[in-house]
Amino acid sequence: MQLHRTDVESRPEPIRVLVVDDQELFRRGLVMLLTVEDDIEVVGEAPDGDAATRHAAAVLPDVVLLDVRMPRRSGIEACAAIKQVAPSTKIIMLTMSDDEADLYDAIKSGASGYLLKDASIDQVAHAVRLIADGQSLISPSMAAKLLDEFKAIASAGSRADPIAPRLTDRELQVLRLVARGLNNKDIAAELFISENTVKNHVRNILEKLQLHSRMEAAMYAVREKLFDLS
């Protein structure tokens, strides 16, 4: 399953980013490297999950780069809290943890991206652009683990509550394509509609199902057996 895209729409304003990591040297280095990107503006930094939540509520960043392992409040807990105080903010976990449990918990808490710290600065900046554009991205080494989880969810069976009454037929079509890993451009071509229409459908799907990200929507679609993983 392809869970990322390579094309990003241009934005009229810089992407506002909050950097959160308890390791000061890493955090400051990341801030300096991101600052040189013309389309990215670092609007703050924080050393722990509590401070991250306060900063996010105050500055409402477009994207938060968030470590998993932090004092006072973990990145996973902070992720959920930030989505409460700044629902439109997108979150990328940037971490040393390759534990699949952290990956699943991050997705369930609202993260749109999951990168390991061995990523290059170009990869991090690219991820910021993707996530700000409403896409999802995870490190390739973690993608296989997510696919394994999808298969485990699918084999476990569907939940009792049907989703059909909540989504229109078109929204169900879009959800199935999101779960297959298609980006907005590809979904638009598949359904002969505009990319803006796809974005509206994705936003409506997430709102109706009370989900936070495309990755979480993909997990939902697998759990409900809306498409065949084979």
Token match 């308890």: residue?
22
Residue 5 has a CB neighbour count (10 Å cut-off) of: 17
Of the two residues 67 and 10, the one the predictor is more confident about is 67
Domains in the chain and their CATH numbers? 15-145 (3.40.50.2300), 158-223 (1.10.10.10)
Give the Cα separation of 61 and 131 in Å (integer).
12
Angle at 143 between CA 149 and CA 10, to 5 degrees: 130
Give the Cα separation of 213 and 203 in Å (integer).
9
The answer to whether residue 4 scores a pLDDT higher than 50 is: no
Give the SS3 label for residue 16.
strand
For 153, the token pair is 């969810």
In which band, very low, low, confident or very high, does the pLDDT at 162 lie, cut at 50, 70 and 90?
low
Structural contact between residues 206 and 171, judged by C-beta atoms closer than 8 angstroms = no
Give the Cα separation of 49 and 34 in Å (integer).
21
Give the Cα separation of 96 and 90 in Å (integer).
20
The pTM is what?
A: 0.76
For 103, the token pair is 């990956």
Rounded to an integer, the average pLDDT of 24-38 is 94
Distances in Å between the Cα of 63 and the Cα atoms of 22, 211, 222 are: 18, 17, 27
Please report, to the nearest 10 degrees, the dihedral formed by the alpha carbons of residues 96, 103, 55, 12 taken in order.
Answer: 100
Rounded to an integer, the average pLDDT of 101-114 is 88
Residue 24 has a CB neighbour count (10 Å cut-off) of: 10
In which band, very low, low, confident or very high, does the pLDDT at 81 lie, cut at 50, 70 and 90?
very high
